[in-house]
Structure 1
Amino acid sequence: MKKTPMMLQLAVILFCIMAIPTAILTWYSGAQIIENSEAAIGESSLAGLNANRKLNENALANLAQDTARLAAANVFEPIRGFETYNEVNASYANYTKAKSVMNELLNLNRRVDGVSSSYFYLADSDYVISTDNAITTLERYEPMDWTTEALEDQRGISGVWVPRMLASGEHVVSYVYPLNRLSSPTSGLIVVNMKESQIGKYLNTTEVEGGSSLLLGADGKVISHSNKSLLLTDGLELPFVQEILNQDSSEGYAFRELDGNRMVYAWSRSALSGWWNVSWSSMDKLMAESREMQGNIILLTGAIIVLGTVLAVVLATWLSRPLRQLVRTIRSKSDLEVADRNELAFLDMAFKRMQEEEEGLFRLLQEREEDTRSFAVHRLLRGEIPPRLTEVFPEACYRVVVVSMDRYRVYVGNTNVETRSYHRYLLNTKYESLFPEGARAHSVYHTDGSIVVVLNFAQEEHGCGNDSIRQALETIRDESLELLTHTVTIAVSGVADAPEMVAERLLEAMELIKQRIIKGAGSIMYWQEEDEHGRKYIDSENSERRILNFVDAGDLDGIFKELENIRCLISAEQHISYDNIMFIYHQLIGATIKHLRENHISTGRTVMGKGDIYSVLAAMDTLDELEEYLHTFFQEIVQNLDRGPAETNHGERVIQYLKDHYKEEIVLKDMSTEFGISYSYMRKIVYELTGKSMIDYLNQLRIDKAKELLLDTDLTIKQVAAEVGYYNVQSFNRFFRKYEGMPPSSYKTAKSKSS
């Protein structure tokens, strides 16, 4: 290829640039047409399925609402006292009352299309009022045992839907609605039978040609299907149904091969009932038009490639002319000995030579900068004297400036690693340019949000006087605040007249940074030699005793005033050490915790959630932060001491009340009003004392008493339920099964056998 003329190479390149992308685009677009067509069909199938599902849900919801409204209309109140069929037929007036119930059921049937029949059963009676057999005895009507099993899955006060087959062979979906005290003063059941064929109509409203659909219950049982022989069978055995319903999504579509045909399956689960709607149809007819379009695109692409070949040759000749002239010029003026090579190979050799020279120069500059600048500064701060030091620091005097970010942990929590690295780069570059002429400034990142600037100058009073330093440091403080949105504290060491003293000056500046706790954030501090004999040690023992007395008395104002006295005492001492300040606050925290534990007062609420308190104190920069933290600390202690006995007293009263009145109908919100506390607070203290919610604790009391009555008396299940506070047997059975894992009858039998 290196000997092939450049014009020919360029023609081939241009051809490839046009032909290859065009071919790939054609292939890709054709694939996308097929894929998007399939996706559009899948989305359309899912949309149609969802429309059918909503239509079906609306019809069933309307029927359920009409049933609930009928239950709340007190229609059944007039017959509540008729427990037998003979009582209903005892007089014309009685029969007329029952007849009015049947008429209301007939009206209910007419409100929604497809209702086969409906009936009402009064609890503990021996007759049924129905729309298909009028008023008849239970013996002459269909069995009702299935309703008990169906109502075990009831949630709340709404009814349940049950697919089943009537004695006549007709398939229906029955809505079983139990009457309770919230919906009606009468106890009993309303059952409405919706025809399966009507549900099938709803499911197939938007069905595409040649498609099919089915409705599955939450347990996989077939509720509706065009093939009536599959009704009430296990729908998960149908092709691909088990596979697609096992996916995480509650709705979607998928493509599968069935008997040599590509099929699209769509599924959607009802959020109300948990039923699955599934539809499927063939893709062959739907995709015929898309495949024809794909073939036309391939023919058009072939024509474009032929025309592109001719155009590539013309463009290659025109575009290569300036480049060939450039190569002839370079060959005539350079000493590159390149023979038997085309123009591109010649230019490649020339550019490689230039790149090698540039890389060598760059490595030389980089090595020089690293070795004589940054590396030298780091070594100097460690107390080492680097070689070629005079190239970086030619003057005799040094000063170390430490710029430390205030509240560094807050800054770290609000920024990521990349942002912090970028900030360090900007600050290092900016700091070096802000100092006055006559002073060499080199900055490096030190640790924990601190940047160290080493100043090198001839004499302190020439070129780097105090006024010049102060002005530069104020600029550093202002621009750092603008960039970081965090203040910085700046410490300036004394002057060193030898490089081996720089490490010592760094320690001076780092020690000076600790004075931020007194001076406050954003300060600029200069090192001054202190008289060791002038240092004063402060002892806060008297303040500790007063604060502990205030804690015992619950006097929060007294505690805050004493904390302010401690702060004023620290602020008044100019030469107090940082270690002394931290010792005062550590000692105060420790003495308080020790005092509480010696008085058998739990400190878990106050201490356990705060982590290592002493590490938190050490991370604070100023007295303001320390005082604010201690205010919160003591406030939580005093609040916990105040509310402890009250909570216990309320809790014991509530528990005793539930034990005394568990047989009665307790309204919990009225109960909280009677105790003079909020409902939410009452629930909280009961849970803390028992580990259970109030409802669970009340039901547990009732079930425990019921177990005693079942074993020690001859009362019936219904009598036991009424004795412990349940006004219908169904509720009693449900709660007994929840807490004991079996119905009360089985419990009594099992205990009798074991004894």
Structure 2
Amino acid sequence: MKRFPMMLQLVFILFCVMIIPTSMMTWYSGAQILGYSENAIAESSLNSLTANQELNENALNYIAQDTVRLASTNIFDGIRHYQSYEQLNADYTRVETGLSLLKELQRLTRSNEGVYSAFFYLNGADYIIASDKGIIPLDRYESLQWIDEALNEKDGIAGIWYPRFMESQQMVLSYVLPLNRLSTSTKGLLVINLNEEQVAYHMNGSELENNHYFIINKDDNTVISHDNKELLLSDAQTIPIVEHVRKQNTSSGYSFHEQNGERLLYTWHTSPPYNWLYVNSYSMDTLMSQTRSVQESILVFTIILVIVGSILAVALATWLSKPIRSLVRQLKARDGSCNTAANELAFLDTAFRRMQDEEDKLKYLIKEHEQDACSLIIHHLLKGDTLDRKKSELLQEMFPEKYFYVAVIAIDQYSKYLNKTSPEARSYHQYSLMTNAINQQIEGLYIHSVNYGEGRMGIIINVSEENKQKESLLITCLEQISAKAKDVFGHSVTIGVSSMAQSTSHISSQWLEAIGLIKHRMIQGNGRILFWRQEEQSNLKYIYPVNSERRILNYLDTGDMESISLEFEVIRKQIVHAANISYDNIIFIYNQLVGATIKHLNEKNINTSAIFASQGNIYSDIASIDTLDELEGYLKQFYMAVIPYVDHSGQDVNYIEKIFEYLDAHYSEEIVFEEMAKEIGISYSYMRKLVYEVTGKSLIECINQKRIQKAKQLLVKSTLNVAQIAAEVGYNNIQSFNRFFRKFEGITPSSYKASKLNR
């Protein structure tokens, strides 16, 4: 692209910006139109199917209601006594009665569109009164055997619709209504035969081509109505879509299918009153013809828009690139060494990069010189050296305000930091912290820093008269520095902040104050911001835990590491609660404990050189530790290494025997473990440790197991009940007894007793 003229690039960019989105929107809108159109057509077709179904069923319901109204009249009463054709034609009055019924049947046929015929059959009679054939003998009318099959499906007093072929091969839906006692005392049947073509008329309301329909009786899975008359009353399983509709398990819906390269829409709806399934199929090619026409129009419009847009892009690119082409010609005329093969944008990019590189180099040299000068001045201030005139002027620019704080940043666990970082990484970390977090101008504060070595950095904070009482501003600044330092070093840092001074001549004293505060993390922990308080530096107290030293040596002889750990917690509480204890006093306490332990081991003729040969200088390790937590952890490791060399195995066996003798004697009583340990002559923690090492169980589990074993014997051999046995073995309530018995034996005491006695 760098070798193409800028005007061609602009044309290409404008073309992409204007034409590609337009084309994509056209394609997307066309696809969306098709998608929305398909769904809208499908919904409309489903609604049309539902409307046709309602129209058809309304017509059927009207015929049924008209038939029921006729059945509820007394017109049948006049012929109910005439069982034979001869009796009905015996005189004029009887014939007149039959003709009256015939006229009603013919009226019923004429008043309902699509009704092929209607007839009445009196139970046991040998004649039929039919609207199409009049009053004729039964043997001259078509067979009525199908009526029995239709009535088998009837439920209640209402009539039933039954699809069938007449003897004339006319497909009809026959409505069969048996007369009942609620309307007349005459026993017989009214039958209305509706042409299947009338149902087809209702279902084929649309005039679309390639539209097909069918109705299925879901009770017997037969086709009731279909535009293909050859499928009437056939098994619906022969129609492929039926199985798909059944699997949908929905009363209505639609779906699209590909068949012989044609996309078809199927809609279906189930009629609960009749349990009929109505299905319509449409050709989507026919339905979507208008939508595709709209899509083609959009495509033509897009092509026209692309052509016009291309012309505008060329014109606009020429106009926009004119000033830049003029500037490039002027630069090339001045500097003949530039790359003339590149286009205008590449040429300008190269020229501006060269200028920027030269500017950056100059800025870096100036900044580096300023930083070196500032760092040197801060070093002189911290040492208390006298500054010459130039440095004093620069100091005035660095710290224009009256009041000063000095802070020390110390990396916590510095030895670990040294072990996992290289000198280059440490230099980068210090530079990153100084440039990004410390040497920043915060409103009301002027801050400068210097690296002081051994994981420490010095900070001088200059505060204005207005802000000297705003300690919250200083705390916020230091908290930001602490958070950034933790991210940079991967370790927390402790910050010591000196008292406030009004002159740079006190900065060296302030530095010593801040250095002294760092030692306070021994008690207060890592990651703190510690402020100088004059009252805390006076009346320093000296303590030494003599009793704890004696107890630790006793526990060492018994191998009770848990009690030693508890004693360290006692020592720690004494140190924490001692007001104004010094750092040197804390280090002395732990150094003295180590010395007393080594002396004790030597008195027991234990070779301490073999124990500590690989541990280096223990006293130096203690001096390098920052906090009480770390110091306590180090001493615990120290004693864990010593315990295996102390011989206390014979005492352990003696203590174990005493423990189990005591449990055997007192298992049925309420045992206080501390008093038990005191009577045996050991600590409770050591006793608990010995029991667990020998049995793998706790003291409570051992006691409960002894109680349950005794209870099992009493359940089988004594006449005591469960509550009495529970009290006998030491349980205050039967619930606890039942719970522990089930825990150890898996069943209740009653079940255990029953199982043993039934054997």
Q: What range is the shorter-chain TM-score in?
A: 0.3 to 0.5
TM-score (norm 2): 0.41
| CA radius of gyration, larger in | 2
